[in-house]
Amino acid sequence: GQQVMQIPQYQHVQEGEDFTTYCNSSTTLSNIQWYKQRPGGHPVFLIQLVKSGEVKKQKRLTFQFGEAKKNSSLHITATQTTDVGTYFCAARGSNYKLTFGKGTLLTVNP
């Protein structure tokens, strides 16, 4: 099955600094999704990217899908304490089955 590698595993930033997490696959992905899981909570869908080179923005969050559709990134500009959580990328396969990356735990120092 498909695998997605996600780095870094942890990232600690000062409030106001930027943050980026990366997701890579050895195979071409039909799509990539991003989720956020707050400590003690459940994953919440953020976005889905399907087109080569696609870039989508949600306020301070920018999502990119690589030209070869093998990598993706999530960038947060000027982090806030509310951004704390684990960010997961996931590739959707057949029958809506998701393969998750290991996630990046973001902590923000106020």
Partner 1 sequence: GAVVSQHPSWVICKSGTSVKIECRSLDFQATTMFWYRQFPKQSLMLMATSNEGSKATYEQGVEKDKFLINHASLTLSTLTVTSAHPEDSSFYICSASDLLGAAFFGQGTRLTVV
Contact footprint for partner 1 (CB under 8 A): 31, 33, 35, 41-45, 48, 88, 90, 92, 95-103, 105
Q: Among residues 96 and 110, whose Cβ is nearest to partner 1?
A: 96
Distance in Å, CB of 84 to partner 1, minimum: 14
What are 88's two structure tokens?
A: 């997961």
Distance in Å, CB of 78 to partner 1, minimum: 26
Distance in Å, CB of 79 to partner 1, minimum: 20
User: Which among 83, 73, 62 has a CA at the least distance from the CA of 16?
Assistant: 83
Contact between residue 34 and residue 89 where contact means Cβ atoms under 8 Å apart: yes
Q: Among residues 18 and 52, whose Cβ is nearest to partner 1?
A: 52
**Parallel, antiparallel, or unpaired for β 104-109 and 10-14?**
parallel
Q: What angle do CA 46, 51, 55 make, to 5 degrees?
A: 55
Bridge partners of residue 32, in order along the sequence:
49
Q: Among residues 18 and 45, whose Cβ is nearest to partner 1?
A: 45
Q: Among residues 66 and 103, whose Cβ is nearest to partner 1?
A: 103
